[in-house]
Amino acid sequence: EVQLVESGGGLVQPGGSLRLSCAASGFTFSNYWMNWVRQAPGRGLEWVANINQDGSQKYYVDSVKGRFNISRDNAKKSLYLQMNSLSPEDTAVYYCAREGGLWFGELFETWFDPWGQGTLVTVSS
C-alpha cells in the first residue's frame, strides 16, 4: 500500500523552529518529486515547497522563502521540512504529497497523489 505518514508537528512560539518529517512506504520514493502543502484552520490549500528526485532542485512559495528548507533522504524514504522564524501565519496542518505524472502526447501532466494524513503546526505564545 502506498502511504505517507507525517510527524513532527506541535506547538511552537513565534520565532521558533520545527522540523517536520514524512515517511514514505509502498513505492520507490527516489523516483518522485515530493511536496509540502499546508492548510490554515478553516482555510483552503496552499502549496509550500517541492523537491526533485535527488534533492538538487527545490522550490518554495514566496511567503516561506528564506525561512523553510525542504530536504529528503532517499535511503530512509523520508521527506523533511525545516521551518525557522515561525509566525502565527504559519499555523496550519501540513501535508506531504507525492507528485505523480504521465506523458499524454507532448504534455507531461502531474498531480498530487497520495497525500499524508497531515500534522498540525501551531505557532502561538
44 vs 66, which CB is nearer to other proteins? 44
Q: Closest separation between CB of residue 4 and other proteins, Å?
A: 9
Q: Closest separation between CB of residue 81 and other proteins, Å?
A: 15
Cα–Cα distance for residue pair 86/81, rounded to 1 Å: 12
Regarding beta strands 119-123 and 10-12, do their DSSP bridges make them parallel or antiparallel, or are they unpaired?
A: parallel
Cell numbers describing residue 52: 526533485
Q: Closest separation between CB of residue 123 and other proteins, Å?
A: 21
Q: Are 88 and 99 in contact (CB under 8 A)?
A: no
16 vs 21, which CB is nearer to other proteins? 21
Q: Which residues bind other proteins (CB under 8 A)?
A: 35, 44-47, 50, 59-62, 95, 102, 104, 107, 109-118
Q: Are 18 and 84 in contact (CB under 8 A)?
A: no
